Chains A and B, each alone.
Chain A
Amino acid sequence: MSQIPKEPTALGHDIRLELYKLQLELRYCEKRAYDLFLQNLIKGTSHLSLGQEAIAAAFGVAMRPDDWTFCTYRGHAHTLARGASMEGVLGELMGRQCGLLGGKGGSMHLTDVAKGAMGSYAIIGAHLPVAAGAAWSAQYRGTEQVAVCFFGDGTTNIGAFHEALNFAVIWKLPVVYVCENNLYMEYTPIGSVTAVEHPAADRAAAYGLEKVVVDGNDADAVYGTALKYLERARKGGGPALIECMTYRHSGHSRADPGQYRPPGELDRWLERDPIKIYRERLLGLGIVEATLADLESESLRKVDAATETARASPVPDISEIDKNVWADGSTAWRN
């Protein structure tokens, strides 16, 4: 088993502040999404990454700008972490014209191709082979791009997970699979429905891959792991499967208060909140309180501004319904 150091690695302050800032933005934006739901300004459903931000942030900082992200319906954070505009994300959640997808995709399908965010996939497992295909394209064209594919622990029990891993290994594809093990598949403890303790990492051996488990609430640990396996994939070393241990602070989706969780569990994990532990680490490393407070208020202002932009944006034009099924922009199925 690969031992990924949990202690702070020798990162520069600039990287650490970038990691902190990105985690803050993801946290505040997710909280804002929740608030906007309560105000009925966001309809439908949403799956928040509250508590899991360190993973998206660490990969976001570690990835090359032309690398590709494939994520799930719990993908606001991963999309933002690649640099997608916050008003584009919030606007999409609110069904506004300024949304990343013009209101056609919604919370579960956030995509920003220009930033390498190649889609959020709402059918469990579907995007694992898709990420392998992008990696195949990079390998074929010799571009040294890497596809990073995020998914939850529940995904490890669907067929596409196994098909994709085998496929990626036999073709030695530059793809990094990242399981965010937040301990629950929807409403059910993952341990109660899975044959092994670590749903992703314990299956790695079946595909000739190294077992990699990392503290997903420690941005430094995830960042170090990400760099290592991104680089290896980029240089032709093939795929990796990384299991990040984490916890979601909220329920599975908007409709879920998470009452199935045993008493005290959430509190224990709140003690290990990635942003809390990162803040403490930065203070311990001598970064002054004022610097952190500035980052915090700056991030909040950014979320506020994005919220106002999205709220001010009109609903999509009705003509959008009949656009963009086909590459010629039309929806025509007959002549």
Chain B
Amino acid sequence: MAELTYREAVAAGIAQEMRRDDSVVFLGEDIGAAGGVFKATVGLFEEFGPRRIRDTPISEQAILGAAMGAAMTGLKPIAEIMFSDFLAVCWDLVANEIAKTRYMTDGQITLPLVIRTANGAGSRFGAQHSQSVENWAMAIPGIKVVAPAFPADAKGLIAAAVRDPDPVLVFEQKSLYAFKGEVPDGEHVDQIGKARVLRQGKDCTIVALALMVHRALEAAEILEKEHGISCTVVDVRSLVPLDTVTILAEVAKTGRLVTIEENPRLCGWGAEIASIVADEIFWDLDGPIIRITTPHIPLPSADFLEDNTIPSVERVVREIREKID
């Protein structure tokens, strides 16, 4: 085991797959010699060179279109969209083309490609560089969606995404790029579609994603020590496919579901999980489902305001105490 930052783990995952398979190529803005604006691709250009690591103009449609065309003709491209907010300028490629092509062509075209993007708030970048848009992607049939919370998962899920024959959108949480954690030595490939139980409790099951996993763990610690409320914490990790087996089992055990979502309120991924839980294990519930989300607003820029929009540890503790005690 080596201790890596989340950003180092991203680069390690890409490098691992590029060493293994010459058909893996990587394109995006400032990803090469510059090492990425978040420094999550440092060292790749030096190791793999300009033939395989390709800087692009600021042309997100061209980036995803090129990835798609390459994927349907024998390559396994990884495309970076610098900020997940920018997916909006190439959403046609994601939603209408990449996600639908396999079904529309009845399986004639398969698209083994990866889209990596930096997601989420906490950098005081304002409403157009801070969004959590994983729920946009989750709403489109035909694209897999993962969001690692830990360095090991970042490496393992990127590797799994590259090996997956279908398009995978990897949401890297920019607030986690500096987070350090143990990453297995040697080849590490994770499994897409598996949630992970990080903590087992008796009173409620917190289901969280990316940065919110860390807040959930902190809140669970406080709730246990200071308020005697014992929480299970499930890291969803993969929104599509969704590991409902794990989620339903963990919610059934405690009888309460809490989702913690960085995305704005409406149609967040937690709403889908709440719906599945209500549909399928309603009689195992001991009380209402609790969704803790960012308010349904564009994100403000000032640190004080931003810190009071994204669900904080204090807010999670408070809401769970109020509603579960």
Contact = CB atoms under 8 A, between A and B. Distances in A.
Interface string A110-125: 0111000011010101
B196 to A, nearest CB: 14
Interface stretch (A26-34, A163-171, A277-285): A163-171
B108 A140 contact: no
Contact of A134 (B62, B72, B103, B243): B72
A126 B92 contact: yes
Contacts of A171: 54
Nearest to A138: B73
Given A101-B105, A160-B61, A167 B66 contact: yes
B109 interface: yes
Contacts of A133: 65-73, 77
A134 B109 CA distance: 13
A242 B71 CA distance: 26
Contact of B62 (A123, A132, A329, A333): A132
A145 B73 CA distance: 11
B221 interface: no
A334 B63 CA distance: 29
A329 B103 CA distance: 9
Contacts of A61: none
Interface in A88-108: 101-102, 104-105
A133 B73 CA distance: 9
Nearest to A326: B166
Contact of B66 (A109, A136, A159): A136
Interface stretch (B93-101, B147-155, B281-289): B93-101
B102 A327 contact: yes
A109 B104 CA distance: 7
A130 B65 contact: yes
A105 B142 CA distance: 15
Contact of B165 (A160, A163, A166, A327): A327
A335 B245 contact: yes
Given A68-B73, A325-B141, A333-B242, A140 B65 contact: no
Nearest to B109: A113
Interface residues of B, number: 49
Given A133-B70, A136-B66, A138-B73, A102 B106 contact: yes
A126 B56 contact: no
B107 interface: yes
A135 interface: yes
Contact of B97 (A101, A123, A132, A325): A123
B300 interface: no
Contacts of B74: 137, 141
A171 B56 CA distance: 9
B25 interface: yes
Residues of A contacting B: mostly? mixed
A146 to B, nearest CB: 12
A128 interface: yes
B57 interface: yes
A118, A128, A170, A326: most-surrounded residue (chain B CB, <10 A): A326
A216 interface: no
Contacts of A45: none
B42 to A, nearest CB: 23
Given A101-B105, A109-B105, A119-B101, A167 B57 contact: yes
Contacts of B130: none
A167 B103 CA distance: 28
B59 A167 contact: yes
Nearest to A327: B165
B240 interface: yes
Contact of A104 (B70, B104, B165): B104
B93 A111 contact: no
Contacts of B102: 324-327
A286 to B, nearest CB: 43
12 contacts: A101-B106, A105-B106, A111-B108, A112-B108, A118-B109, A123-B96, A123-B97, A129-B61, A133-B69, A135-B69, A147-B69, A324-B102
Interface of B: 25, 51, 54, 56-57, 59, 61-75, 77, 92-93, 96-97, 101-110, 112, 141-142, 165-166, 193, 240-245, 276
Given A109-B104, A129-B64, A164-B61, 8 more contacts: A68-B73, A101-B106, A119-B105, A123-B92, A133-B70, A160-B61, A170-B57, A171-B54
